[in-house]
């Protein structure tokens, strides 16, 4: 099993290209199921989760082609890919394929909308809480679907003439349920109103893709989406937005090591809440024409409190990385995780570096130490794993991060991007 070896202490200096967002690429790929025409996606990151979703889509009959990068682009840039679902060959998404990645459950929306039936295994994914699917089922039922659970599968059927538009008022904000109901509603009869919709930039990326495919959606980027169903969608070419979680992660790595890094392609408006928090902790952030510059020169890290919230709040996907940064602050900070109930598995691993963290329910209290020390640690989920990498970059001595397959699910060329900026980091096989 591959490991990552880091010798900490080097400041990060230079430029890091930000990849296409995993959390946008996955639902954009799924949107290809809605049309018999090809959907072309630009800037798709090469990640294990993308490859896994390719397998799932191929099983449904989607032809997938990789065309390489745009002329003149860096070899770190994403690829152009075509997804062509001329026919839906199979409406079952089997357990073996769905169980490793929760987002694959989202195929249920487009399958039901286009093929009027779907049989999708209950999902897996990162072990960061129970992560139920009740909101998906609530929304699909509102659109007229009949649903039963059969041997670990959700079996859904649309009414004879297809799904029917309705008002779906979510009791809780869910990114996945918003993507799924929005996609399903594009081909429903009549108008669907999604209230309390997620507003994440990835939802906007997908909504704009659907509009480019002929969908009628208003309220994009707000809490209320109105979708007027159309009889069919057509092909389009759409670019995956830069990954705001990768951006925030590298910003925290630069802050932690005291470096000066340009995050190329970063879109600051997609992570303003996180940048505000970093600013309060003493990090200098300067938007530039081609990205975002992050600097911390000499000054210490100030303790800063944070609470995770749906967008536009501070993202739960940056909570572990921010906690790593706070382990070296000059005081005590509190972090409140409000989205997932079991998202503190990195705490025990950060403690191996000498971090001082106490957890009580939703709240972690972090008291900064003057120096972390390198350690043997284990990756437990995607975002937690990268918090261990950035702690290792700042720690004195050698760190080994085990079980890094979690990292490969969501971070493209992590070691290469960091070592180009002066980090002493390598992947060790076997
Ligand atoms: C997406 C992101 C993930 C991020 C999360 C929150 C992708 C591929 N993944 O995950 O990286 O951490 O948003 O920003 O985009 N919930 C229910 N019932 C449901 C669905 C969700 O109770 O049917 C709960 C979840 O358990 C959680 C909360 O709602 O407590 C938010 O989850 P949700 O927004 O659905 O997260 P994901 O879409 O799975």
Q: What is the token pair recorded at 384?
A: 């937690």
CA–CA distance, 416 with 282 (Å, rounded to integer): 27
pLDDT tens profile 85-132: 999 999 999 999 998 888 999 999 999 999 999 999 988 644 544 568
pLDDT tens profile 62-80: 999 998 766 666 656 679 9
- Ligand 1 atom at minimal distance to the Cα of residue 382: 11
Q: How far is the CA of 293 from the centre of ligand 1 (A)?
A: 30
pLDDT tens profile 379-424: 888 888 999 999 999 999 999 999 888 898 889 999 999 999 999 9
Q: Which residue, by CA, sits nearest to atom 24 of ligand 1?
A: 131
Same fold, 3-19+242-428 and 22-168: yes
Residue 36 has pLDDT above 50, yes or no: yes
Q: How far is the CA of 339 from the centre of ligand 1 (A)?
A: 8
Q: How far is the CA of 168 from the centre of ligand 1 (A)?
A: 17
Reduce the DSSP state of residue 282 to 3 states and report it: coil
Phi/psi for 16 (5° steps) reads: -125, 120
Residue 265 has pLDDT above 90, yes or no: yes
> 233-258 b/e with 16+ CB inside 10 Å = b?
bebbebbbbbbbbbbbbbbbbbbbbb
Strands (DSSP E) along 20-106, which ranges?
38-44, 63-66, 79-84, 92-93
Q: Which residue, by CA, sits nearest to atom 17 of ligand 1?
A: 132
Q: What is the token pair recorded at 143?
A: 């659109």
Task: Decide whether any atom of ligand 1 lies within 6 Å of the 172 Cβ.
Answer: yes
- Ligand 1 atom at minimal distance to the Cα of residue 49: 8
Q: Please report, for the chain, how many H helices and E strands are present, in that order.
A: 14, 24
Residue 152 has pLDDT above 90, yes or no: no
pLDDT computed for residue 128 by the predictor = 45
Domain residue ranges in the chain: 3-19+242-428, 22-168
Band of pLDDT at residue 430, cut at 50, 70 and 90 = confident
pLDDT computed for residue 299 by the predictor = 81
> 126, 128, 375, 390: which is the annotated catalytic residue?
126
Architecture of domain 22-168: Alpha-beta prism (3.65)
Cα atoms in the Cβ-side hemisphere of radius 13 Å centred on 396: 8
Is 209 part of the annotated catalytic residue set?
Answer: no
pLDDT computed for residue 131 by the predictor = 64
Can you tell me the mean pLDDT for 190-196?
Answer: 98
Residue 282 has pLDDT above 60, yes or no: yes
- Ligand 1 atom at minimal distance to the Cα of residue 200: 14
Architecture of domain 3-19+242-428: Alpha-beta prism (3.65)
Q: How far is the CA of 295 from the centre of ligand 1 (A)?
A: 32
User: 298 CB contacts (<8 Å, ≥6 apart)?
Assistant: 258
CA–CA distance, 292 with 274 (Å, rounded to integer): 13
Task: Decide whether any atom of ligand 1 lies within 6 Å of the 340 Cβ.
Answer: yes
User: 271 CB contacts (<8 Å, ≥6 apart)?
Assistant: 244, 247, 248, 315, 318
CA–CA distance, 124 with 117 (Å, rounded to integer): 21
pLDDT tens profile 159-181: 999 999 999 999 999 999 999 99
Q: What percent of the chain has pLDDT over 90?
A: 86
């Amino acid at each position: 099993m591959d490991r990552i070896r880091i010798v900490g202490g080097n400041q990060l200096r230079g430029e890091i290209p930000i990849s296409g967002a995993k959390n946008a690429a996955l639902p954009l790929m799924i949107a290809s199921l809605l049309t018999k025409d090809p959907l072309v996606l630009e800037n798709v990151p090469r990640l294990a989760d993308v490859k896994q979703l390719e397998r799932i889509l191929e099983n449904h009959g989607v032809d997938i082609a990789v065309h390489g990068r745009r002329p003149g682009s860096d070899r770190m840039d994403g690829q152009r890919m075509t997804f062509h679902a001329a026919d839906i060959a199979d409406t079952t998404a089997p357990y073996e394929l769905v169980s490793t990645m929760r987002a694959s459950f989202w195929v249920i929306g487009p399958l039901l909308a286009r093929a009027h039936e779907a049989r999708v295994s209950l999902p897996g994914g990162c072990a960061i809480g129970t992560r139920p699917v009740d909101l998906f089922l609530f929304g699909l039922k509102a659109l007229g679907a009949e649903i039963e659970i059969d041997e670990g599968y959700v079996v859904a059927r649309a009414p004879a003439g297809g799904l029917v538009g309705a008002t779906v008022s979510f009791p809780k904000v869910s990114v996945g349920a918003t993507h799924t109901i929005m996609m399903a509603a594009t081909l429903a009869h009549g108008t669907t109103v999604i209230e309390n919709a997620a507003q994440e930039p990835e939802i906007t990326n997908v909504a704009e893709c659907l509009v480019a495919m002929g969908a009628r959606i208003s309220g994009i980027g707000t809490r209320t989406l109105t979708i007027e169903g159309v009889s069919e969608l057509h092909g389009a070419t759409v670019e995956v937005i830069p990954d705001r979680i990768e951006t925030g992660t590298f910003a925290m790595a630069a802050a932690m090591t005291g470096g000066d890094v340009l995050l190329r392609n970063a879109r600051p408006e997609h992570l303003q809440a996180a940048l505000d928090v970093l600013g309060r902790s003493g990090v200098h952030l300067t938007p530039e024409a081609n990205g975002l510059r992050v600097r911390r020169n000499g000054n210490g890290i100030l303790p800063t409190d944070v609470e995770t919230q749906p967008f536009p709040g501070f993202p739960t996907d940056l909570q572990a990385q921010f906690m790593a940064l706070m382990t070296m602050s000059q005081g005590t900070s509190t972090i409140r995780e409000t989205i997932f109930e079991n998202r503190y598995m990195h705490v025990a691993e950060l403690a191996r570096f000498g971090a001082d963290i106490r957890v009580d329910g939703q709240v972690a209290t972090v008291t900064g130490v003057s120096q972390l020390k390198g350690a043997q640690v284990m990756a437990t989920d995607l975002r937690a794993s990268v918090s261990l990498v950035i702690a290792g970059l700042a720690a004195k001595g050698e760190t080994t991060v085990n079980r890094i397959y979690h990292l490969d699910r969501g971070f493209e060329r992590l070691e290469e991007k960091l070592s180009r900026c002066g980090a002493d980091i390598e992947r060790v096989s076997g």
